[in-house]
C-alpha cells in the first residue's frame, strides 16, 4: 500500500518549488542588472568559479587522453587510406611506364622500317615472352609462329637494328637466336667505305662484337655505320637482306700479319631491354629454303 500522506507531502513540496522557481525567474528577468537576483548570481559564480576551474584542471588529463586516443584511431585510419592510395598510385605509375616503354619501342620499329634504305617486304610484329636464362642472352622467345607466317632463318629486328634470326618455330611461338650467340655470323659492310666482312661475337665475350676479314688499307673509323651486306656466296643469298642496321664502329685494330683489320662493333640493339621485335617474313624465301635444305644457315 502506498503511503497517501507521504505522497501528498511530496506533491506539496513540488508545488512550492515550482511556485518559488516562477517567482525567482520573474524577479530575475523583471529587475535591472544591479538587482538582488543578479547580484546573487554573480556571488554564486564567484564562489563556484574556483571549483569549476579546479574541476576543469583535474579532468584535463582525462580529456587529453580521450583526445589522444581519438587522434590515434583517426591517424591509423588515415594511414591505412594513404597506404592504399600509394599502392594504387604505384601500380598506375608502373603501368604508365610500361606503356611508355612499349610505345617507344613500337614507334622505333615503325620509324626504322619506314626508312627508304631499309629492306622492304612483309613483317610480323611480335612480343618477347621469354629470354635466355644464361648471362649470354643468346635467345629470345616470341609470341608468333608458323600460323603468323614465321619460318626458320627469317631475320628479326628491334627498333634499333638487327637482333638475330628465327631458329625454332611452332604454330604460335618461335625462338630467336641473337647475333651475340657464339653460333651467329652475319655478313656485313661498313658505310660509307663499303668494306665487307663477317660480324660475330668474340670467343668467350659476347659483348665484344667483331667485324672480321676486312682487308688492311680500308678507310674505317670509329662511328662508321655497319649494316648487313646481303652478299651471295656459292649460289646462296644471305638470309639477312642488305641494309639492316647492325651497329657502329667502336675501334679498329690490325692483326699480327698486317693483312686484315679487326673492327670492334657496338650493336645498336639493346638485347637486355627488348619487349617487341619484328620478323621479316617477306625475304628471299627460295634462298632461305635452299640454305636450310643443304643444312646451311647463310650469313
CATH class of 119-299: mainly beta
With 70 as the cut, is the pLDDT of residue 154 above it? yes
Question: Cα separation of 183 and 160, whole Å?
Answer: 22
Mean pLDDT of the chain: 76
With 60 as the cut, is the pLDDT of residue 251 above it? yes
Q: Which residues are bridge partners to 262 per DSSP? A: 253
* Alpha-carbon distances of 212 from 167, 188, 255, 286, rounded to whole Å: 24, 10, 10, 28
Closest by CA to 190, choosing from 199, 182, 181, is 199
SS3 at position 43: helix
Question: Cα separation of 196 and 226, whole Å?
Answer: 9
76-122, pLDDT tens digit by residue? 677 777 777 777 777 777 777 667 777 777 787 777 777 777 888 89
31-79, pLDDT tens digit by residue? 656 665 555 566 655 655 665 566 566 666 666 666 676 666 677 677 7
- Pick from 26-30, 159-163, 274-278: least confident: 26-30
Instruction: Give the pLDDT score at 70.
Output: 63
Reported as a pLDDT band with limits 50, 70 and 90, residue 265 is very high
Instruction: Give the pLDDT score at 290.
Output: 36
With 50 as the cut, is the pLDDT of residue 284 above it? no
Residue holding cell 646481303? 230
Q: How far is CA 78 from the centre of its chain?
A: 28
Question: Cα separation of 9 and 14, whole Å?
Answer: 9
With 70 as the cut, is the pLDDT of residue 27 above it? no
Q: Where are the domains of the chain?
A: 31-114, 119-299
Amino acid at each position: 500500500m502506498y503511503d497517501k500522506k507521504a505522497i501528498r507531502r511530496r506533491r506539496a513540496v513540488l508545488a512550492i518549488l515550482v511556485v518559488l522557481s516562477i517567482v525567482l525567474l520573474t524577479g530575475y528577468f523583471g529587475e535591472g542588472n544591479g538587482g538582488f537576483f543578479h547580484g546573487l548570481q554573480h556571488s554564486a559564480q564567484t564562489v563556484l568559479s574556483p571549483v569549476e576551474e579546479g574541476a576543469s584542471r583535474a579532468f584535463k588529463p582525462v580529456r587529453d587522453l580521450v583526445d589522444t586516443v581519438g587522434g590515434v584511431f583517426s591517424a591509423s585510419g588515415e594511414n591505412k587510406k594513404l597506404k592504399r592510395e600509394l599502392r594504387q598510385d604505384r601500380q598506375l605509375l608502373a603501368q604508365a611506364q610500361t606503356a611508355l616503354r612499349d610505345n617507344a619501342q613500337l614507334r622505333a620499329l615503325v620509324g626504322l622500317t619506314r626508312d627508304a634504305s631499309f629492306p622492304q617486304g612483309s613483317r610480323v610484329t611480335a612480343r618477347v615472352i621469354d629470354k635466355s636464362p644464361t648471362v649470354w642472352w643468346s635467345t629470345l622467345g616470341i609470341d608468333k609462329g608458323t600460323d603468323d607466317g614465321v619460318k626458320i632463318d627469317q631475320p628479326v629486328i628491334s627498333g634499333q637494328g638487327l637482333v638475330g634470326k628465327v631458329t625454332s618455330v611452332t604454330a604460335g611461338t618461335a625462338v630467336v637466336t641473337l647475333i651475340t650467340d657464339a653460333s651467329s655470323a652475319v655478313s656485313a659492310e661498313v658505310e660509307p667505305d663499303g668494306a665487307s666482312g663477317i660480324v660475330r661475337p668474340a670467343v668467350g665475350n659476347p659483348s665484344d662484337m667483331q667485324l672480321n676479314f676486312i682487308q688492311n688499307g680500308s678507310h674505317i673509323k670509329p662511328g662508321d655505320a655497319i649494316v648487313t651486306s646481303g652478299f651471295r656466296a656459292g649460289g646462296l643469298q644471305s638470309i639477312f637482306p642488305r641494309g639492316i642496321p647492325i651497329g657502329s664502329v667502336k675501334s679498329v685494330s690490325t692483326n699480327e700479319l698486317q693483312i686484315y683489320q679487326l673492327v670492334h662493333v657496338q650493336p645498336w640493339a639493346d638485347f637486355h631491354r627488348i619487349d617487341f621485335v619484328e620478323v621479316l617474313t617477306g625475304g628471299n624465301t627460295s634462298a632461305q629454303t635452299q640454305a636450310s635444305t643443304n643444312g646451311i644457315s647463310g650469313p
